[in-house]
Structure 1
Amino acid sequence: MDQNDITLNQLQNEVNDWIQTIGVRYFSELTNLAILVEEVGELSRLMARKYGDQSFKSGESAEQIPSEIGDILFVLTCLANQMGISMQDVIKSTIQKNTKRDLNRHKNNPKL
């Protein structure tokens, strides 16, 4: 791991520190869920233009995609922090669940 890389635990701490010092406080969980959906919609709009059939509007570009992914990760981290959920723990659990469920599923999929 590069020394500039951060763990998910460090990410959660960094976002929490930002909220406490700059953001004043967390928005409510419901507000953050609405913001998360909004950010996913913004990413979807850009993806539809880059990879789908729509063209970019004035002022939009595919170069905004990383920023939208960052916004999604930030708000998702806020939600995890608010609910006392360790992102490190849940991603490990999710990978284990998916591995058990899909161990041979994708290998045996003729569509892939």
Structure 2
Amino acid sequence: MTIQEAQQTVDQWIHEYGVRYFSELTNMAVLTEEVGELAKIIACRYGEQSWKATDERAKDNGKAALGDEMADVLWVLLCLANQTGIDLTEELQKSIEKKTSRDKDRHHNNPKLKE
């Protein structure tokens, strides 16, 4: 599935099952919530944070939930793009071009990355 197809699929789902989009402000809050849930899994799986005894995601050290939360973040981001008329394929291409132009030597010259 391309990014454009993903945007279209989310839009179709919203209109068929979701009634309408939440407001942009609500979706921004939901995106923040989903990023927080993703951060919690990463902090427990890869960082020093420990799982709560009642957290079901601890069973497989968050592996199953990791992809699920990433997909939730992407879903809400696609919603926001649709609501605001943003073509994420186009914007991602522009971002790649910007980063390539700006940072083409930066990371190769970063001694911290050579360790």
The interval holding the TM-score normalised by the smaller chain is over 0.9
1:25 equivalenced with 2:26 (yes/no): no
1:1-112 pair list within 5 angstroms: 6-57=1-52, 58=54, 59-61=56-58, 62=62, 63-112=64-113
TM-score w.r.t. the length of structure 1 is: 0.93
Q: What one-letter code is carried by the residue in structure 1 that aligns with 2:97?
A: Q
The alignment's C-alpha RMSD in Å is: 0.7
- Which structure 1 residue ranges, 5 or more long, are not aligned? 1-5
CA displacement 1:54-111 (0-9 Å, x = unmatched) = 1222212312010000000000000000000001000000000000110000001111
Q: What one-letter code is carried by the residue in structure 2 that aligns with 1:70?
A: A
Q: Which has the higher helix share?
A: 2
- Which structure 2 residue ranges, 5 or more long, are not aligned? none
Q: What one-letter code is carried by the residue in structure 1 that aligns with 2:10?
A: V
- Percent same amino acid at aligned positions? 50
TM-score w.r.t. the length of structure 2 is: 0.91
- Give the number of equivalent residue pairs: 107
